[in-house]
């Protein structure tokens, strides 16, 4: 059973605009997806943002990315990517190596332990994503992707 945003918020008056209702609906949907994902990843001792960084680094494995490139590719912008990479390195999930051409820059790469963590949690993450979108058909999912893409410049 679906719940409308107005009912969930116990709001008696209509929204001030369709745009307001749409943006609040997007925010509610994002929270409804994020919360179970965060809970799932808690068991792996990583945050959703850290999981995103590991996925970014897996995508270029065996290579790596400097901090600024990781920050540019992140879905949720993190204020201190350097500190996050330090924590992931402390957990043995990421390795940071000085760039031989520019000693001021370090390149982060995912470690075998980071790859193993992703291999362990990815099936659970994919199952949670399937469960979350189960009420939509494939054409509806494609339309949702197009609509979301249209909102982001």
> How confident is the model over 21-60, as pLDDT tens digits?
899 999 999 999 999 999 999 999 999 999 999 999 999 9
Domains within the chain, CATH numbers bracketed: 40-151 (1.10.10.10)
Confirm if 53 and 73 have CB atoms less than 8 A apart: no
For 86, 114, 125, the CA distances from 90, given in Å and listed in that order, are: 6, 12, 24
Which residue, 96, 109, 85, 92, is CA-closest to 44?
92
> How confident is the model over 56-95, as pLDDT tens digits?
999 999 999 999 899 999 988 777 898 999 999 999 999 9
């Amino acid at each position: 059973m679906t719940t409308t945003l107005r009912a969930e918020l116990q709001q008696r008056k209509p929204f001030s605009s369709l745009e307001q209702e749409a943006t609040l609906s997007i925010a509610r949907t994002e929270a409804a997806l994020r919360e179970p994902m965060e809970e799932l990843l808690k068991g792996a001792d990583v945050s959703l943002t850290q999981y995103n960084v590991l996925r970014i680094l897996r995508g270029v494995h065996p290579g790596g990315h400097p901090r600024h490139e990781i920050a540019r590719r992140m879905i949720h912008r993190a204020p201190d990517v350097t500190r996050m990479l330090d924590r992931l390195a402390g957990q043995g999930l990421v390795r940071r190596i000085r760039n031989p051409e520019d000693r001021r820059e370090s390149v982060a790469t995912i470690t075998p332990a980071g790859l193993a963590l992703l291999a362990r949690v990815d099936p659970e993450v994919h199952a949670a994503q399937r469960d979350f979108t189960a009420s939509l058909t494939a054409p509806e999912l494609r339309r949702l992707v197009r609509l979301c893409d249209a909102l982001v410049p």
